A = this chain, B = another copy of it.
Amino acid sequence: MAEERRDGEPDERLREYRSSIDNIDAALVHLLAERFKITQAVGRYKATAGLPPSDPGREREQIARLRALAVESGLDPAFTEAFLRFIVSEVIRHHEAIAEGAD
């Protein structure tokens, strides 16, 4: 349902913006799907190799790198760090499930 202007006409400008947001969101979903395919492989590999599911040193490196990339690309570094932590917590949940043989 397109948002309407106060005069009742559909808002074309808002519709254009939202169409771009929808394209970007589809790309984000597909990239996340690919990222989880890799982290699932990492989880299986870690379980086989007897490595722990989480790796605080690696996470610190990722956060430092992504905060720097965020500054370059005009994104809030604090948001970017929260974003990575959000994804990593899901990854660790998967890895724990794999380590417990639930996946």
Contacts and interface: CB of A to CB of B under 8 A. Distances in A.
Interface of A: 1, 3, 5-6, 11, 13-14, 17-18, 20-22, 24-39, 41-42, 45-46, 49-51, 55, 57-58, 61-62, 65-66, 69-70, 73-76, 79-80, 82-84, 86, 90
Contact of A37 (B14, B18, B42, B74): B74
A1 B58 CA distance: 7
A58 B4 CA distance: 12
A80 B29 contact: yes
A52 to B, nearest CB: 10
Contact of A31 (B28, B50, B65, B86): B28
